[in-house]
């Protein structure tokens, strides 16, 4: 009896420990200007997935986060309502890549591409979504990177095919700032167009608390119920896949 209680206590402690280890270590709700958190230029604010969202209606708008927000390995997630443009997140800028720099972009085909640069082979490791996104619809995008390799998730489901996988190299430039929208330091203006909401960053790879964000939206729109249904179906599909 006492031994059983002890085992239960150990079990609960381990669960709590693993839960705290899974917690995302940085969340930006993107509910408006916040100079203490990040710099902003040319960004508008609109009704978001949760509260407000950052909107990008020119190719020069950006939000800039200090390099401390960009872990050497981990998971990054955010809601995206895509309309066009190119750069969603960039740490290097065009033609200035070095080890570990990464970018998340929206292709003309409305596929998501996640790239990490290998300075040894001078190649970008490119992982491109098999899903094609629709405009005016919210998606939850997450990427994981580090020693376990690169992974891409759309609405909680792993997605993507490598155009070039090669020898993935862990690590990054410690001093790289993280830009959302246009990378302001290069000579290109190529921000995504559309809206981004709730940026989550975790120093843990494949962090479930970042990958499996709920799709339910508090914004009362008829399409919300369809999105919730899709989210629930996705969650079940995800759980079924996890069990295998
Ligand atoms: Ca928000």
Q: Where residue 164 sits, what CATH number does that domain have?
A: 2.60.120.200
Say if residue 109 is in the same domain as residue 230.
no
- Same structural domain, 223 and 200: no
The C-alpha atoms of residue 25 and residue 179 are separated, in whole angstroms, by 18
Residue 142 has pLDDT above 70, yes or no: yes
Q: How far is the CA of 45 from the centre of ligand 1 (A)?
A: 9
d(CA 217, CA 235): 15
Cβ neighbors of 34 (< 8 A, separation 6 or more) are: 28
Give me ligand 1 centre to Cα 120, in Å: 39
Q: Summarize pLDDT for 156-193 with one digit per residue, the tens.
A: 999 999 986 665 555 455 568 899 999 988 888 999 99
Going from the Cα of 29 to the center of ligand 1, the distance in angstroms, rounded, reads 4
Residue 229 has pLDDT above 50, yes or no: no
**pLDDT score for 27:** 94
The pTM of the full predicted model, rounded to 2 decimals, is 0.77
| C-alpha of residue 145 to centroid of ligand 1, in Å | 25
Residue 223, pLDDT above cutoff 50: no
Read off the pLDDT of residues 109-131 as tens digits, 9 standing for 90 and up: 999 999 988 777 777 889 999 99
Cα of 195 to ligand 1 centre, how many Å?
Answer: 10
Decide if 190 contacts 184 (C-beta within 8 A).
no
Domain shared by 144 and 157, yes or no: yes
Query: Which of 230, 194, 215, 178 lies closest to 74, judged by CA?
Result: 178
Residue located via tokens 């896949």? 241
The CA 21 to ligand 1 mean position distance, Å, reads 24
Shared domain for 13 and 109, answered yes or no, is no
Distance from the CA of 226 to the center of ligand 1, in angstroms? 20
Q: Please, what is the average pLDDT of the chain? A: 81
Q: List the domain range (segments joined by +) for residue 152.
A: 24-215
Q: Give me the number of domains the chain comprises.
A: 2
Residues 90 and 4 in one domain: no
For the beta carbon of residue 179, count every other beta carbon within 10 angstroms: 25
């Amino acid at each position: 009896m006492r031994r059983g209680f002890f085992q239960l206590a150990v079990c609960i402690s381990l669960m709590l420990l693993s839960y705290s280890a899974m917690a995302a270590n940085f969340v930006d709700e993107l509910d408006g200007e916040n100079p203490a958190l990040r710099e902003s230029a040319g960004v508008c604010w609109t009704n978001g997935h949760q509260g407000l969202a950052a909107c990008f209606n020119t190719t020069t708008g950006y939000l800039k986060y200090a390099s401390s927000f960009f872990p050497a390995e981990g998971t990054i997630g955010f809601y995206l309502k895509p309309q066009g443009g190119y750069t969603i997140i960039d740490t290097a800028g065009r033609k200035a890549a070095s080890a570990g720099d990464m970018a998340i972009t929206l292709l003309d085909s409305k596929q998501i591409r996640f790239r990490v640069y290998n300075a040894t082979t001078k190649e970008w490791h490119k992982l491109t979504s098999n899903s094609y996104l629709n405009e005016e619809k919210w998606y939850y995008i997450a990427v994981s990177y580090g020693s376990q390799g690169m992974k891409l998730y759309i609405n909680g489901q792993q997605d993507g095919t490598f155009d070039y996988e090669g020898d993935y190299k862990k690590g990054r430039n410690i001093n790289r700032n993280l830009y959302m929208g246009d990378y302001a330091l290069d000579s290109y203006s190529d921000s995504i167009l559309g809206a981004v909401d709730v940026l989550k960053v975790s120093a843990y790879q494949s962090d479930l608390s970042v990958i499996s964000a709920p799709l339910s939206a508090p914004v009362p729109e008829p399409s919300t119920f369809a999105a919730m249904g899709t989210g629930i179906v996705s969650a079940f599909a995800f759980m079924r896949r996890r069990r295998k």
